[in-house]
Amino acid sequence: MKVNLSTHNTRTQVPITITTSGSEDLPLVIVTPKDKNSLVEQFTVPLHLTATGSQGEFWFQNKGSYEVIIKSSKETTTQSIHVEDQYFLPFSLEFGVGAVLLILTLFGVFLWIKTTKKYAKS
């Protein structure tokens, strides 16, 4: 059984996609926290059949280390995932970046109009 886990951006509130192929039946995917004091309990991931195998999606609300267990009728595979907190910009910083981009855009439009009027006169 071949298992592909999308772990390139493992942050909270970002979906993690699991794709399996090469199994005759629909595998069972169990996610358990490695930290015994975690607020997250063990859960299963629902998979649906695709043309190449099966696929499912899950995400976390809490950061930490987790273990993903994929069980089929013939074999069991285990993979570890470490999830970090998602970083959000504060509103003031986001508003400031937006304001700077708006000012730069307006300045560019002003220069463009000025140069097109200069060439239209000649």
Residue 73 has pLDDT above 90, yes or no: no
Beta-bridged to residue 83, according to DSSP, are 64
- DSSP sequence for 47-91: EEE-SSSEEEEE--SS-EEEEEEEE-SS-EEEEEEEEBPPP---H
Q: 108 pLDDT band (50/70/90 cuts)?
A: very high
Residue 13 has pLDDT above 90, yes or no: no
Q: 105 pLDDT band (50/70/90 cuts)?
A: very high
* Mean pLDDT score across all residues of the chain: 87
Model pTM score: 0.65
pLDDT digits (tens, 9 = 90+) for 15-49: 889 999 888 788 899 998 888 777 778 888 999 98
